[in-house]
A and B are shown apart, each in its own frame.
Chain A
Amino acid sequence: MREFLRHARLAWYLGGIGLQRLMTYRADFALGAGAFLVRVGVQTAVVGVIFQFTPAVGGWTLHEMVFLLGFSLLPRSLDRLFTDQLWELGRRLVQQGEFYRYLIRPVNPLFALLSERFFHPDGFGELLVGAALVAWAGHHLDLELTPAQWLAAAVLVFLGALIHMSVKLLFASLSFWTVTSFPAMHAANQISEFAAYPLEILHPVMRAFTTWCLPFAFTAYVPCTYLLSGDAGLVVWTPVVTAAALAVSLTVWHRGLATYEMTGS
């Protein structure tokens, strides 16, 4: 318990430093947040163009699909705000021999690693746009959520962020064996984009893959199906899937830590 309080206090303090950094490099913040704005703009434009030709895709209407797109950004940005240092682990920390830094600090190595980029500025743009899209689409859909559903939505966003983190941690940890795992992380990240589309349109094999293998379906598609239609068939599995994903990635991370040997000088 004392250990936990100490980490919480550190997280608070380091988060403050993250925010200060954000204020110092304002142009960088604007660029990072702007890049996501452009990205979401383009995704929305694609949805817009598609609905010129058809009233529904895989049974999803325009507003439902915008809701899905916006919702998919919430767990993704929450994850990005806190765990983006994992990209550095996969990209170069092992390769360049810099990783030892996190092992010689008197805190949990994973915490030490992640704390380097608390409040990663690029996440803010995504979070705001996601919330705006969800609000806009929800308004047009006349979505009335019960208090229980509001609570469920918040929990689902949090669990979705944990799923994103788990997959990222899993692929970043591979770098302990392969020295750099950036391309693999990039591929996984690419697949996570699927989460922003209705899975009905995919081939059953791909649908099963994004549901049970790299469970990105649980970050957006499954929660949105539940929130929009009340169909709770899959959503009850979300905690189980999240726990399983976390267990697998943490195991790989610990194994990786155990095999880590510092390179270079």
Chain B
Amino acid sequence: MNPLRPAFRYTPFVTGSLQSLLRYRSMFAISAVTAAASAAMMIFLWRAVHSSSPDGPPGGFDTAELTTYLLVAQILGLLHANRVDDEVSAEVYRGHVAAMLLKPVSYPAVRAFACLPVIGTNALFAGLPVLLLFALLVPLNVPRPVDALLFAVSAVLSAAVAYLVNLLVGMAAFVTTNTWGIRLMKQTVVAFFSGQMVPVGLMPDALAAVTRLLPFHTMVDSPLTLLLGRYDGVPGILGVLGLQLLWTAVMCAVAALVWRFAVRRLEVLGG
């Protein structure tokens, strides 16, 4: 028997998700506009800080590095907008999840496969245009090829962490009906503690220490540390990637536990 057989079971979910994404193509334009607007806001804000900062560039970032950090942080945000939290909370809230439980598939795995096309299309149709637009308008840091490669690996891990965070947030619908409030809270917390609004290297020490204890910085700050070459040799690289792997594993375990517990106490009304 083909060892990949179980994975093929999920291909319909991948193609189905892709088809529905391509129906609403204007979404990509809107996502791109939103990301570009946020990136522009953050870049202008930090540039103003940069130009008026009396003791030179903050945190050892020069303008190009800081701009690259803030821009790529927003583009990573597009890869993290995998809609898993919306989908899961909506399906739990409305009880559709019950129908999923009857199928011979694992629901979290279904969501994981279904979000792959979301990430891919977002990167291609929203992330790439935004990157090209800003490359024309503002000076960016050109990474070394090896750093770009490390960034790619790290970005994949960051997408995995983002999926797990969103899965957990979506599962909050098992206990509350205000999933909207939870998602807004998550969005804000992630935007801040991932480094999207303030690069972790610029946070005051106490805040940076807290940030490094949370999983969210592996979503943005870790890939960017590698992209900008702000690490110490091979041990530095391994440290960054190792921490990302560790958080992926820990959150996988937590999500699996929560899922099991939640399904056991799930009650769905009607039929």
Contact = CB atoms under 8 A, between A and B. Distances in A.
Contacts of A178: 26
B40 interface: yes
B204 A49 contact: yes
Interface string B22-43: 0000110011011001101100
Interface in A167-224: 178, 183-184, 186-187, 190-191, 193-194, 197, 200-203, 206
A53 interface: yes
A35 B203 contact: no
B18 interface: no
A184 B198 contact: no
A57 B204 contact: no
Interface in A35-86: 35-36, 38-39, 42, 45-46, 49-50, 52-58
A34 interface: yes
B34 A42 contact: no
A32 interface: yes
B178 A50 contact: no
A53 B53 contact: yes
A81 B185 CA distance: 19
Max chain A C-beta neighbours (<10 A), residue from B38, B47, B48: B48
A184 B30 CA distance: 6
Contacts of A201: 44-45, 47-48
A27 interface: yes
A46 B192 contact: yes
A219 to B, nearest CB: 16
Given A187-B34, A201-B48, A38 B188 contact: yes
A178 B30 CA distance: 14
A154 interface: no
Nearest to A32: B181
Contacts of A55: 52, 54
A110 to B, nearest CB: 23
A261 interface: no
A190 B44 CA distance: 16
A144 interface: no
Contact of B185 (A38, A187, A191): A38
B76 to A, nearest CB: 17
Interface residues of A, number: 38
Nearest to B180: A32
A170 to B, nearest CB: 15
A142 B64 CA distance: 39
Contact of A28 (B53, B177, B197): B177
A86 to B, nearest CB: 15
Interface string B166-201: 000000000011101110110011011000011000
Given A183-B31, A190-B34, A197-B41, A49 B198 contact: yes
Max chain B C-beta neighbours (<10 A), residue from A52, A55, A178, A193: A52
A57 B46 CA distance: 9
Contacts of A58: 48
A31 B44 CA distance: 32
Interface in A9-40: 25, 27-28, 31-32, 34-36, 38-39
Given A28-B176, A32-B180, A49-B207, A183 B37 contact: no
28 contacts: A25-B177, A27-B176, A28-B177, A28-B178, A32-B178, A32-B180, A35-B181, A39-B184, A39-B185, A39-B188, A42-B189, A42-B192, A45-B198, A45-B207, A46-B192, A49-B202, A49-B203, A53-B53, A58-B48, A186-B34, A187-B33, A187-B37, A190-B38, A194-B37, A201-B47, A201-B48, A202-B44, A203-B44
- Return the 8 tightest CB-CB contacts between A and B, nearest first: A31-B181, A28-B178, A183-B30, A201-B48, A35-B184, A32-B181, A35-B185, A35-B181
Interface of B: 26-27, 30-31, 33-34, 37-38, 40-41, 44-49, 52-55, 58, 176-178, 180-182, 184-185, 188-189, 191-192, 197-198, 202-204, 207
